[in-house]
Chains A and B, each alone.
Chain A
Amino acid sequence: MRKAAIIAAMTAVVVLVAGMVAQAQSGHSARRATTLHVIEHATTDKVIDTGKAGDSTGDLLTWHNKVYDETDTTVAGSDQGDCIRISPKQGTWECRWVTWVDGGSITVEGAFYDTKNSVLAITGGTGAYANVTGEMQLLSIDGGAKYDFIFNIT
């Protein structure tokens, strides 16, 4: 009887430890491995000419667009944001925007270029994304008519 009790107790310890290790590992992987891919249709992008007439530092770019799922078939959310022109010569902007998707929103900040792709920082979020960090790849499609937003969330 005593032997059975000891075996039962030891088995319980092993099962508990195994369960906790498994959950800890899944928790860590869940925090580092999430990717969210949406496609923005850049239909409302507007440049506001401030300061010197024409393309100049300080000009503004605003938008509020729909985003589609990664197959570019179904509306998956929307976004809104703005950029400030940094260097016309280098074709650089500094931007921030929020992207609303099912369950919450994700905010990003970083560089946008006239002629090449970039990676922005994920600065936070709301709802299901309230604790996120990570980065977002920004890839131009069809000459800037659309953009891939690939969130690598940690």
Chain B
Amino acid sequence: MRKTISIAASAVAVVLVAGYVAQAGTDHGRAATLIHVVERATTDLVIDTGPTGDSSGDLLTFANDLYDETNTDKIGRDQGSCIRINTTEGSWECTWINFLKGGAITVEGPFYDTHDGVMAITGGRGKYKDARGSMELKVLSDGSGYDFIFHLVI
């Protein structure tokens, strides 16, 4: 009987520890996922508002196709807009949506003329509903588009 109690107690401890480790590994149930797509920037258009020429308040709109991380197969599309913030620093503030198989991911944050940036994932729909995390935005070496690297927490 005592041996049975001892074994039972040990079993309970093992189960509790295993469950705890499993939960910790998923950030309290929110698993981390990496998605890498390539945007071909074929439709980007600047709308000149306010003073003629590059100035705060100018608009940038786009609706482009998204390809897999090898830039080979089309896997989705995006659309969005930016507002020119600071012409000296070359900064824009942007929001857009990325339509992917099974849902969509929305992002917001800075875009720069001359260097890469990191944006916030603000939500989504479908399989990406309630998503959070961040997205690396990196210009391709030939300037034809951008890497979107989503670090998703769902």
Residues on A close to B: CB < 8 A?
2-3, 5-6, 9-10, 12-13, 16-17, 20, 27, 31, 44, 46, 48-50, 60, 62-64, 80-82, 96-98, 105-107, 109, 123-127, 129-133
Contacts and interface: CB of A to CB of B under 8 A. Distances in A.
A63 B85 CA distance: 6
Interface residues of B, number: 41
B132 A130 contact: yes
Given A80-B85, A98-B93, A130-B133, A5 B6 contact: yes
Contacts of A6: 2, 5-6, 9
**Top-3 shortest CB links A-B:** A48-B57, A124-B120, A123-B122
B9 A130 contact: no
B101 to A, nearest CB: 22
A80 B112 CA distance: 12
| A12, A46, A62: residue with the most chain B Cβ atoms closer than 10 Å | A62
Interface string B1-33: 011011001101100110010000001101000
B3 to A, nearest CB: 7
B8 to A, nearest CB: 9
A97 B56 CA distance: 15
Given A80-B86, A124-B121, A126-B120, A96 B95 contact: yes
Contacts of B41: none
Contacts, number: 123
Given A13-B13, A126-B134, A64 B83 contact: no
Contacts of A17: 16
B108 A109 contact: yes
| B20, B85, B120: residue with the most chain A Cβ atoms closer than 10 Å | B120
Nearest to B84: A62
A125 B2 contact: no
B83 A82 contact: yes
Contact of A130 (B16, B28, B120): B120
A60 B83 contact: yes
A5 B10 CA distance: 11
A126 B122 CA distance: 10
Given A6-B9, A10-B9, A80-B85, A98 B120 contact: yes
Contacts of A9: 6, 9-10, 13
